[in-house]
Structure 1
């Protein structure tokens, strides 16, 4: 280890720009780490695509492994077997793997951020043979890592109880959100109100349940529902047709950050019907934009949203529908939730997350 600086290798083999929360984590954390620690030198271990077009947010050079970030099996194998040797070869003092998985053999001090262990807690929500691979990788990763970072107490408890890692080896570091300047929400919103939601189409995101709930809202007061985040042929489309909601639901693919910001700003509320999360970053992102949040009554979302969002039972379609109607029909409630949410989101900063993560690195070396 250099007496002057720490060389931090970062696993970015998984990164494509279209993988949601784990990528938001990397984009928020590493610039904040570099800004506050001038003795850190970062090197990203990336895939072919990332090396060809290095991201402007990463505070260091990118060295490539000969795999594609679009090939799940290839990048998983690279993380398990190749990232550690490459990090050691470039003289890294610490390796940080920020996307759930890491090397199966520890060759240098290694930190893995385990956002969740869905494949072990709820294997029924992970596709077939993929579940077995995810389970094996999760177990090997947690066993080999020097330290584990989780986003929430809920995830820390899962890692401890289901994978047997000592709670003393786990650091809970909550995620952050970028502060944004937003205008006060106007009471003069014109046109049909709409509610925003988004995410991948995995079963635990519970979009089928959300659509069933939407069908329970009387047609005369039913807001439009916009769901972003699909890839290719959206599996929700047949559900929308079956429920007779084709005029009430707009299914959109992955949207840019600018498009998403505009949707947050115009929506009456953001609804998050998830059955399981490691954190719940969309809750914070919506709050930061002054968008009222309606979400599942799960312990992990209480860690994020506190008393500043409206909760429902995600397994009860009538409960979801009632919560949506309560917020959409009450402009004063929307104003109050928006103000409280902005205030709460402001306490979740990437700098706070970076300071805690830097302390983990320093303790390791």
Structure 2
């Protein structure tokens, strides 16, 4: 690599996993840049893969040796900067926010498809694990099913091998009692798109995120999102098309599901907002990175 080159990485790494990375950052002739996702392994170590927990402190310290860092949200940026201060690191690079794209699986954005509310189909996309908090959805859904409310709840995502097995067992048990519960362990892109096309709303009860792409991807499909009222999610949910609900509050989530299943006017409004609001794209994210790195080269 030459002095006017950039080494850019969005991967996670540590000296143990990538021997020599520390020396490389200290001695390389090129400039270096990184994309930082989140500090979740530090904040929620009890429900994070052990390898990630072991890696993350060293990884976040190594980021201080880069020339530039982009975080995937303002909340993520604040966590990284706060960690550096806590570590007493005096020389650190600037950290900017990079808006990740809402577009995915190569589909055009769904807009202008009519503001009418769809049938009683609820969709939750994400790995099955405690952090994504599908257990809360099962609690809320079970209350409504026992009341006689008719709806489908579709869960889409692979299983966290360390923490997801009890959740899968519960899904299987409930599915035997309530026919509205469906689990898709290995849905391909076409299957996911078909589920979004049927969904009245998507559900995102997560307790921690770096960005929260499922929220953005739902809006790209023209589907409103019922999401946790987390600061990181409010960075996008406040723009419209979302219903924010108290984090990990079973009563609040039960009532939120009841509202979106019965209030057609509310869902129609959220759907209009989802289709009309601006959304970031991956092309725009790439343009931001290219422009910033190119301008830095010109300045040098």
Where on the TM-score scale, by shorter chain, does this alignment land: which range?
0.7 to 0.9
Higher relative contact order (CA 8 A, sep 6+): 2
Query: In the TM superposition, what is the alpha-carbon distance from 1:128 to its structure 2 partner?
Result: 3.7
Tell me, in whole angstroms, the C-alpha distance in 2 between the residues paired with 1:104 and 1:202: 35
The 5-angstrom pairing of residues 301-312 of structure 1 reads 301-308=233-240, 309-312=242-245
Q: 1:215-272: per-residue Cα shift (whole Å, max 9, x none)?
A: 2224311422111111498622322355575523211113222221111110111000
The 5-angstrom pairing of residues 189-204 of structure 1 reads 189=118, 193-204=120-131
Q: Name the SS for the 2:280 alignment partner.
A: coil
Matched, 1:238 2:166: no
TM-score (norm 1): 0.67
Moved more, 159-168 or 110-119: 159-168
8 Å CA contact 1:114–1:148 kept in 2: the answer is yes
8 Å CA contact 1:156–1:172 kept in 2: the answer is yes
Structure 2 segments unaligned to the other structure (5+ residues): none
Change in CA separation of 1:123 and 1:154 when aligned onto 2, cut-off 3 Å: same
Tell me, in whole angstroms, the C-alpha distance in 1 between the residues paired with 2:93 and 2:150: 49
Structure 1 segments unaligned to the other structure (5+ residues): 15-74, 86-102
1:316 maps to: 249
User: Which of 162, 184, 187 is the matching residue for 2:113?
Assistant: 184
8 Å CA contact 2:15–2:22 kept in 1: the answer is no
User: Which of 92, 99, 103 is the matching residue for 1:174?
Assistant: 99
Change in CA separation of 1:303 and 1:106 when aligned onto 2, cut-off 3 Å: farther
8 Å CA contact 1:231–1:253 kept in 2: the answer is yes
Query: In the TM superposition, what is the alpha-carbon distance from 1:207 to its structure 2 partner?
Result: 1.2
Change in CA separation of 1:13 and 1:354 when aligned onto 2, cut-off 3 Å: closer
1:50 maps to: none
2:74 maps to: 153
8 Å CA contact 2:205–2:227 kept in 1: the answer is yes
2:46 maps to: 124
2:208 maps to: 276
1:133 maps to: 55
2:139 maps to: 212
Tell me, in whole angstroms, the C-alpha distance in 2 between the residues paired with 1:105 and 1:324: 52
Q: 1:148-196: per-residue Cα shift (whole Å, max 9, x none)?
A: 1011110010001123377861011111223424562475856xx2200
Change in CA separation of 1:185 and 1:223 when aligned onto 2, cut-off 3 Å: farther
The 5-angstrom pairing of residues 20-59 of structure 1 reads none
TM-score (norm 2): 0.80
Q: Name the SS for the 1:221 alignment partner.
A: coil
The 5-angstrom pairing of residues 37-116 of structure 1 reads 80-81=18-19, 107=28, 108-116=30-38
Q: Name the SS for the 2:131 alignment partner.
A: helix
Change in CA separation of 1:177 and 1:295 when aligned onto 2, cut-off 3 Å: same
8 Å CA contact 1:185–1:290 kept in 2: the answer is no
